[in-house]
């Protein structure tokens, strides 16, 4: 596939970005915050709203993603994230929340993006049997898809139907 411009033919090389989107999983995207504060606010939120468990992933330098385990309805989900925005006074999280409200579903990146590697798991706390388990399964699937894209001769691919999802979708954007 090529793009024409000024009589020249350029090759298009799209790099998809995979993200995990749903309405039941409480997620936080905490940028420019030290890990000790991410951990503090995550555990405080978990206890305040009885969210059972959580994982923290490092998405880039001083940027973290948090995924909580207990499923909640969308209205409660955004209420919890709004509470975190208010108590932390975190402007970037508030901007992220507004974007999620517009989309009517929250998304966290699971693949690489430009020069950033995929987010890596750095902390676990409490139970991880529901939403965290689904998120990690999806993340594993995303990694398998990325490997298959890079190496088409990879014959050890799992069937995509092995992933059982509830209300989540695969997001792919070309940048």
Where are the chain's structural domains?
15-174
pLDDT the model gives residue 163: 45
Of 63, 94, 74, nearest in space to 24 by CA: 74
Element (H, E) at 134: helix 131-150
The confidence score (pLDDT) of residue 116 equals 85
- The pTM assigned to this predicted structure is 0.78
- CA angle, 110 then 65 then 161, to 5°: 30
Mean pLDDT for 16-25 is 90
Q: What pLDDT score was predicted for residue 39?
A: 97
Nearest CA among 103, 94, 49, 42 for reference residue 72: 49
How far, in Å, are 24, 90, 107, 119 from residue 51 at the CA level?
A: 12, 21, 18, 22
Asked if residue 168 has pLDDT above 60, the reply is: no
Whether residue 60 contacts residue 38, with contact meaning beta carbons closer than 8 Å, is answered with no
Helix (H, G, I), strand (E, B) or coil at 11: strand
Q: What is the per-residue pLDDT across 29-78, written as a single tens digit (0 to 9) for each?
A: 999 999 999 999 999 999 999 999 999 999 999 999 999 999 999 999 99
What's the rounded mean pLDDT across residues 146-162? Answer: 53
User: ∠ at Cα 169 (165, 171), nearest 5°?
Assistant: 145
Is the Cα dihedral 160, 162, 163, 166 positive or negative? positive
Whether the pLDDT of residue 132 is over 70: the answer is yes
For the segment 85-95, the average pLDDT, to the nearest whole number, is 96
Confidence band, pLDDT 50/70/90 cuts, at residue 167? very low
Question: For residue 164, what pLDDT is reported?
Answer: 44
Residue written as tokens 């998304």?
A: 107
pLDDT greater than 70 at residue 131: yes
Q: Between the CA of residue 170 and those of 46, 108, 141, what are the distances in Å?
A: 26, 11, 10
> Tokens 């555990």 sit at which residue?
43
Query: Residue 15 — very low, low, confident or very high, per pLDDT cuts 50/70/90?
Result: confident
Separation of alpha carbons 82 and 97, rounded Å = 7
Mean pLDDT of the chain: 83
């Amino acid at each position: 596939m090529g793009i024409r411009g000024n009589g020249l033919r350029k090759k298009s090389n799209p790099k998809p970005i995979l993200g995990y989107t749903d309405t039941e999983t409480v997620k936080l995207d905490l940028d420019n915050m030290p890990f000790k504060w991410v951990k503090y606010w995550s555990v405080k939120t978990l206890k305040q709203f009885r969210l059972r468990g959580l994982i923290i992933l490092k998405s880039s330098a001083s940027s973290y993603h948090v995924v909580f385990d207990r499923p909640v309805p969308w209205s409660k989900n955004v209420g919890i994230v709004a509470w975190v925005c208010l108590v932390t006074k975190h402007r970037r999280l508030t901007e992220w929340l507004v974007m999620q409200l517009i989309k009517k579903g929250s998304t966290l990146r699971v693949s690489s993006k430009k020069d950033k590697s995929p987010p890596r798991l750095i902390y676990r706390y409490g139970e991880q049997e529901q939403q965290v388990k689904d998120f990690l399964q999806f993340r594993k699937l995303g990694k398998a898809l990325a490997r298959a894209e890079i190496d088409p001769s990879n014959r050890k691919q799992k069937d995509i139907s092995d992933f059982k999802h509830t209300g989540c979708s695969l997001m792919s954007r070309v940048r």
